Chains A and B, each alone.
Chain A
Amino acid sequence: MTLPAPLRTTIRCLAAIILGYFVTVGTAALAAVLMVRFAGWDRTDAFVVAGSYSWIVWVACFMWAFAARQLWFMLLGMAIMATGTMAGAKAIEPYLPVLGAL
């Protein structure tokens, strides 16, 4: 299965921008939840730190989207990462300690 080159380029661009963003969101959420669960940080600190550095994941997704030779593998990989990380974060989150407002 070989799509015409301009279409493949469009898919790469969309994957980098859209899927890349959702992989970033998921990674930030999962990393934050894991830091609260296993490093004992409070949610605010964990979210702020995870959110700050998660942007590098988006940059990596851009590289992947354009370096990949197998488009389906790249698309599937990003989709699994985006949904998997978010699902993981949502599964662990209910077990975190509740502190409330100051």
Chain B
Amino acid sequence: MAAPAQPDEPGGVRLALNWLHTWFGLLSCLLLLVIFWTGTLAVFDWEIDRWMKPATRFTAPTEMSIDAFRPVAEASAPGAEFWQVQFATDRAPAEFYAQLNDGAHFYRTIGPDGLTLLPDQGTYGGTQFFYPYHFTLNIGFANIGLILCAFAGIMMMVLCVSGVIIHRRIFADFFTFRKSQKSQRSVLDLHNLTGVLALPFHFVISLSGVALFSAMYLPTAQEAVFASDPTAFDQNYFSRPAAGEAGQNSASLDVMAEEAARRWDGVWPGHLRIYYPGDANSYVEARWPLHGSLAARYHSIWFDAATGDVIAAPQPSAASAGYAVLWGLHVVQFDHLTIRWLYFLSGLAGCVLIATGLLFWSQSRRKRHAKTGKKGAEIVAVIAIGGTTGLILATLAFLISNRLLPLDMEGRATLETWCFHAVWLAAFAHAGVRRGAAWREQWIAIAIGGVVAVALNAVTTGDAIPVAIARGQWGVAGIDIMLLLGSFLAIAAAWRMRSSQVRTREGHAKKFLPAEKS
């Protein structure tokens, strides 16, 4: 059932929605590919951090004294608006974060003794590159990235619903995969299979993704609801301005953390944040941790920094608990390795779904467009290559540059992101020049890149896979293993493309094939 030229053509609702699915799918595909790929990587963002910041690869003690750490914090971020200590978890050591007066951020990992800051690791890593890329595209200007990502989320839901409606044999096709000589059929089967198999995931992840920033996207609705009670919007968050004069912040921070844990039936806070340190109005927020439960609750207790008394401890309502589940389902900060891997695999299924949709669009129009001289199919084929293998190559370039650039280099973190985007752009250019052959060449480049990244990790940090496992660094070893597995799959893909090209061109293909890259 091909899409009609216009939704108004006779054939009923299914054909009209097929038009919607086809063209709005095409419109949002590249954006969706980027969001799904970076989101899939962000599932393991702390592990990527460990890989990219070798000095932070240690098993951190979960307990530390913030009172003992306080002089270090105040010496390294003097006059900060606030500073916070994020306590160590199974996935990450303790982190220090300060917002300085000039608006600049200051991030450091806290050493295993709980009293030192490790030197700057010169990278944004998983938590500051892939994770924000997933919902802002790292475009801060006028929230353009955030708005584009929200629109992509709505599009994903629209595509899910319209895809199900236009699909006649949804149950039968669930069990259908025709590994056919005709790759167009395989591509469509794979599109249907990944779409149906992970449909609940795709829908809920898109809805929760958009829902997380609802207040930002619905300013007029917020205005209407809070018209006569505007300050009520901050009901659950305590804040007060700085007094502007120095004060005694002598109350023990450790006691505050213990008091929070006592009120939370033994749950230790995720982080402690000290606002306006040294000011007479200074106060401390102990935040509920994210890793202990499915629900990602915004739940805090506030203390006066001078006396240590509790200022505010709002009880979360049932409604906000429900919202927290939606949030928790999206940000996967809870400790559950099996579910984490299922998120990773579902995310990859989403990438395959979007990429096969794009491929099908291009393949089914290739002959017709070639005949009529239209460029559409060729352009979309280039986008498909750049958006899939190109994006994987860019990711590998990000990892490889991280292991090659010297640690003390000025602007190192930014340079890594430049490597990512330069390689990505180059992959698009390569696809534009080499056309069909680019698939195979980029798969080969991915295979090489994966092995290079693993080798560089072993050489520059000494953490070859067996060593990392022996040291208990499963996150680092896991990334290396996935890179090698990816290399193997990339070689398999490249090999299959070669053999299918040879088959379809009945043996005359060899002279058209590019020289082997190695």
Partners in one complex: yes
B227 contact set on A, CB distance < 8 A: 90, 93-94
A51 contact set on B, CB distance < 8 A: 211, 214-215, 217-218, 221-222
Chain B interface, >50% SS class:
helix
B234 contact set on A, CB distance < 8 A: 101-102
Give the docked Cα–Cα distance between A96 and B229 (Å): 9
- For window 13-60 of B, CB contacts with A under 8 Å fall at 13, 16-17, 19-20, 24
A49 interface residue per 8 A CB criterion = yes
Give the docked Cα–Cα distance between A6 and B214 (Å): 33
Cβ contact of B312, chosen from A29, A96, A102, cutoff 8 A: A102
A6 contact set on B, CB distance < 8 A: 6
Cβ contact of B210, chosen from A8, A9, A55, cutoff 8 A: A55
A42 contact set on B, CB distance < 8 A: 232, 235, 317
Beyond A46-B319, A47-B221, A100-B232, is A55–B207 a contact (Cβ under 8 Å)?
A: yes
Give the docked Cα–Cα distance between A15 and B323 (Å): 30
In contact, A55 and B221 (Cβ under 8 angstroms): no
Q: Which residue of B lies closest to A61 (CB)?
A: B158
Chain A: interface residue total (CB-CB under 8 A): 46
A46 contact set on B, CB distance < 8 A: 225, 319
Cβ contact of A47, chosen from B19, B210, B225, cutoff 8 A: B225
Determine which residue in A28, A52, A56, A93 has the highest number of CB atoms from chain B within 10 A of its CB, and name it: A52
In contact, A5 and B211 (Cβ under 8 angstroms): no
A28 contact set on B, CB distance < 8 A: 214, 218, 221
B220 contact set on A, CB distance < 8 A: 25, 29, 86
Give the docked Cα–Cα distance between A51 and B218 (Å): 7
Q: How large is the interface on B (under 10, 10 to 19, 20 to 34, 35 or more residues)?
A: 35 or more
Beyond A32-B221, A41-B317, A63-B17, is A99–B235 a contact (Cβ under 8 Å)?
A: yes
Give the docked Cα–Cα distance between A9 and B16 (Å): 10
- For window 1-29 of A, CB contacts with B under 8 Å fall at 5-6, 8-9, 12, 24-26, 28-29
In contact, B232 and A98 (Cβ under 8 angstroms): yes
Cβ contact of A9, chosen from B6, B154, B165, B314, cutoff 8 A: B6
In contact, B6 and A5 (Cβ under 8 angstroms): yes
A54 contact set on B, CB distance < 8 A: 214, 218, 221
- For window 304-322 of B, CB contacts with A under 8 Å fall at 312, 314, 317, 319-320, 322
A residues neighboring B (CB under 8 Å): 5-6, 8-9, 12, 24-26, 28-29, 32-33, 36, 41-56, 58-59, 62-63, 66-67, 86, 89-90, 93-94, 96, 98-102
Q: Can you list 8 A-B pairs, Cβ within 8 angstroms, ordered by A?
A: A8-B7, A29-B220, A36-B225, A44-B233, A47-B215, A59-B158, A62-B154, A86-B220
B residues neighboring A (CB under 8 Å): 5-9, 13, 16-17, 19-20, 24, 153-154, 157-158, 161-162, 165, 207-208, 210-211, 214-215, 217-218, 220-222, 224-229, 231-238, 312, 314, 317, 319-320, 322-323, 326
